[in-house]
Structure 1
């Protein structure tokens, strides 16, 4: 059987396969070597440690986002970027937390960032405004993904006071608005909520644009 030639990309791809199946904690250099059919030292030849592998995996997630069409306006470009990154994260929920840990670095990963910067500059944002907008939209998509994948609001105490618990009666008596609104937290659709937040975000950015 011919020896498989290892590259940074092939190792990162194998690592993503392991993470998809077993989670980030399930990935070790030895487990990765087994997935690749080689020994750990062959992996260490390309990556100094697990963190370096995880950073490379993150670049694959960013690289899954297709660059937007050149004909789109700036708001459509930002929408394309954020929705594309969300789709990538939802395809790989075990790896999704890495998006908030490692920034895009490789040319493939930075391609959609370049498109976003260019769209914002064309719209009239100066360099500082483009940087501010980028930080805002990045915080939105990363934060939204964390809440969505952890079902943060579905398990929020205000959303579902435990039936028969000591707090159940008190919530209704002392916190009627929390009880009323909290019930909505657990039932809202993730796709619709992401779209709503995106519309609000883009509308706010548009009001700050000089172009």
Structure 2
């Protein structure tokens, strides 16, 4: 065991190695206990060595988010949009089960990371490939909200509310610079389709009231359909991840 630890300490330090070690540390002890000092100790280096690869803890956290979001299964080409989206969202939820800190970490960022943007862009791409209009894809992404990443913002989750400062699900900027638009074309496409409402809490450039009512109507329609079918809730799931 000591020999294995010695080999790890002699492994050249890299950004990828740092990020993966940080993810493992957060998985084991929680994101709150993660610091550059204890991460350096885990890697067998001095703290200053980390700063050659990550500028600060914010950049470290962004990189960790991209590592875990990169674990979400890619969409299966050729399938219908509905099972494709459902399976991918459930894959995102399984990722959160492996990394319980990730949902709050994603929400804590002021801007979405490149990995999150790539994931969201691919999901919009599924809707667009299925023939959804740009406007409908835009509204659907708002209606899905954080569920698209495998979690939801529960009304009565006191622990969760205590850890938040009013942040909503990460949103792409309403306008995209050319290089970002080339990298995330589907997000750029729906961003420019937004109606303008400067005071929106949903996202700059979006009609807050319309997006709220759109999602509300979707939920009510679904509830009505289940009620007509005499839906009985299934037994409690033993899903080991965060209950959101």
- Please classify the TM superposition score into its range, dividing by the shorter chain length: 0.5 to 0.7
CA contact (8 A) 2:103 2:151 kept: no
SS of residue in 2 equivalent to 1:72: coil
1:85 corresponds, among 87, 92, 112, to 92
Asked if residue 134 in structure 1 is aligned to residue 181 in structure 2, the reply is no
Equivalent pair of 1:19/1:94 in contact (CA under 8 Å)? yes
Give 1:66 deviation, angstroms: 1.2
Map of 1:108-147 to 2, 5 A cutoff? Answer: 112-141=119-148, 144-145=151-152, 147=154
Alignment size in residue pairs: 156
Note closer, same or farther for the CA distance 1:146–1:28 as it changes in structure 2 (3 Å cut). farther
| Contact 1:19–1:27 (CA under 8 A) maintained in structure 2 | yes
The verdict on how the C-alpha distance between 1:44 and 1:188 changes in structure 2, with shifts beyond 3 A counting, is: farther
Looking at structure 2, the residues matched to 112 and 80 of structure 1 have their Cα atoms a distance apart, in angstroms, of 14
- Scaled by the length of structure 1, the TM-score of the pair is 0.62
Indicate the structure (1 or 2) with the bigger Cα radius of gyration.
1
Q: Structure 2: which 5+ residue stretches go unaligned?
A: 1-5, 160-233, 240-244
| Deviation, structure 1 residue 191 | 7.1
Q: When you count helix as a share of all residues, which structure comes out higher?
A: 1
Other-structure match for 2:236: 189
Task: Using the TM superposition, give the Cα deviation of residue 88 of structure 1 relative to its aligned residue in structure 2, in angstroms.
Answer: 0.3
Q: Which runs of 4+ in 1 moved over 6 A?
A: none
Paired residue secondary structure (2:16): helix
Tell me whether 1:66 sits opposite 2:113 in the alignment: no
C-alpha RMSD over aligned residues: 3.1
TM-score when scaled to structure 2?
0.55
